[in-house]
Chains A and B, each alone.
Chain A
């Protein structure tokens, strides 16, 4: 949240720093309920990228992030009329996103696991591999690849309950209170989930990056 001095006058009313062009969140909610196109555009402008990234970090297959994001905003638009502002719009949207990602993970676990692809993956390479980086040596690239793979595996193996708490805190940088609102749990539960989530990730990475494989998990990270 930006400081209050950043607010500026807009049409005789004070504009909200969170919602540029709108006097406040309440006003935006009313506009959304009445079907104002500008309000819908403002909501998308503010949340579409964060929700897409959050969903991508919470589900196992990043290719599904687009579909889940569409589901999230469909639910947001459909239910904005019944949203009475018990929490902030951000908390409400993030809650829907976390729930949708959780549902998608469950669906993935039930259905996608049994699917067999006709064409094999192209050596597990993604679009980032095609981007050249002359500043890095082959060793750095290998190490980086190992790190990416290890983090991805550790995150995928993390309990979804802990994963959502850690992602919201460490990547989305929500406050503990906001996370409690998003996950609809108490503040103590949020602290506990973040603590256990971080600890689980650390243990998973320690197990994967043992010194016997040549990549020590030491506390002096190389600059990215």
Chain B
């Protein structure tokens, strides 16, 4: 074993436990060489000294504020991890966050907004009392609808007990001009019934149809149900 080989093994010798680093068969020759070779022994001693000096090199103790900062960071990160651990936890966190944001947003304007609304209500109610009675209905107001249908004013003569419906054409003066039986009504279409019906219509008063408030002619459906019940449908 020459010095070059020994020097390459000296690092392993530093680790005390040479198993796996120096083959067992070479460990005894290595120690014998070191005992006899001054140069290699000095080299090994220098390596020992380096290791010793390294270990003796002072290190600063960890500052207390650093430990405190690390603990705070750990707590913050643990809380953050808990927030994202499950979907429900994440959802709860988001809802809390939104609720807090809305609270923070609304809190500064809540009082001014409530005060403003209350002031507006009070002022509006005070002002509106002055406008009462300005708009009123008149008994002779003409309806301003675009078009109205004729309507029956009074029935002076009844027809019969039979239920019958008839479409009546009323002119602009409210007089009956013509009539006809609608499809499906007036099954008792006899001459006797027609005579009674014509007499009834002759003595019935109608309100004429109107267009833009002006009387005009139009059709109206009159339904005789019984002696006392009459339906009028325009």
What is the CB-to-nearest-CB distance from B206 to chain A, in angstroms, rounded to a whole number?
87
B46 at the A interface (CB under 8 A):
yes
Q: What residues on B are CB-neighbors of A152 within 8 Å?
A: 57
In chain A, positions 81-111 with a C-beta closer than 8 Å to chain B are 81
A19 at the B interface (CB under 8 A):
no
What is the CB-to-nearest-CB distance from B28 to chain A, in angstroms, rounded to a whole number?
21
Give Cα A10 to B79, complex, Å: 26
Residue contact A43 to B74, C-beta cutoff 8 Å:
yes
Residue contact A169 to B15, C-beta cutoff 8 Å:
yes
In chain B, positions 18-52 with a C-beta closer than 8 Å to chain A are 20-21, 41-52
What is the CB-to-nearest-CB distance from B65 to chain A, in angstroms, rounded to a whole number?
8
Q: What residues on B are CB-neighbors of A221 within 8 Å?
A: 48-49, 52-53
B138 at the A interface (CB under 8 A):
no
Say yes or no: A220-B59 contact (C-beta < 8 A), given A35-B81, A198-B14, A201-B54. Answer: no
Chain B binding surface, main DSSP class: helix
Q: What residues on A are CB-neighbors of B52 within 8 Å?
A: 221, 224
Give Cα A49 to B61, complex, Å: 8
Residue contact B85 to A35, C-beta cutoff 8 Å:
yes
How many B residues face the partner with a CB closer than 8 A? 45
Of B46, B47, B62, B73, which contacts A73 at CB under 8 A? B73
Residue contact A52 to B81, C-beta cutoff 8 Å:
no
Residue contact A78 to B77, C-beta cutoff 8 Å:
yes
Chain A binding surface, main DSSP class: helix
Say yes or no: A40-B8 contact (C-beta < 8 A), given A70-B69, A202-B47. Answer: no
How many A residues face the partner with a CB closer than 8 A? 55
Residue contact A48 to B67, C-beta cutoff 8 Å:
yes
Q: What residues on B are CB-neighbors of A171 within 8 Å?
A: 54-55
B48 and chain A: residue at smallest CB distance: A219
Residue contact B70 to A69, C-beta cutoff 8 Å:
yes
Give Cα A140 to B111, complex, Å: 77
Most chain A CB within a 10 A radius of its CB, from B56, B70, B78: B70
Give Cα A124 to B41, complex, Å: 36
Of B50, B59, B82, which contacts A202 at CB under 8 A? B50
Residue contact B46 to A41, C-beta cutoff 8 Å:
no
A36 at the B interface (CB under 8 A):
yes
Q: What residues on B are CB-neighbors of A155 within 8 Å?
A: 54, 57
What is the CB-to-nearest-CB distance from A164 to chain B, in angstroms, rounded to a whole number?
13
Residue contact A148 to B60, C-beta cutoff 8 Å:
no
Of B58, B67, B69, B75, which contacts A128 at CB under 8 A? B58
Give Cα A40 to B78, complex, Å: 7
Give Cα A65 to B52, complex, Å: 23
Give Cα A181 to B68, complex, Å: 30
Give Cα A37 to B78, complex, Å: 6
Residue contact A48 to B8, C-beta cutoff 8 Å:
no
Of B11, B62, B75, which contacts A49 at CB under 8 A? B62
In chain A, positions 169-197 with a C-beta closer than 8 Å to chain B are 169-171, 176, 191, 194-195
Residue contact B70 to A48, C-beta cutoff 8 Å:
yes
Name B's A-contacting residues (CB within 8 A): 8, 11-12, 14-15, 20-21, 41-60, 62-63, 66-67, 69-71, 73-75, 77-83, 85
* 20 further interface pairs, Cβ-Cβ under 8 Å (given A37-B75, A66-B66): A34-B82, A35-B79, A37-B78, A40-B78, A57-B59, A69-B62, A70-B69, A70-B70, A70-B73, A77-B77, A148-B57, A151-B57, A191-B11, A202-B47, A217-B46, A217-B49, A219-B41, A219-B48, A221-B52, A224-B56
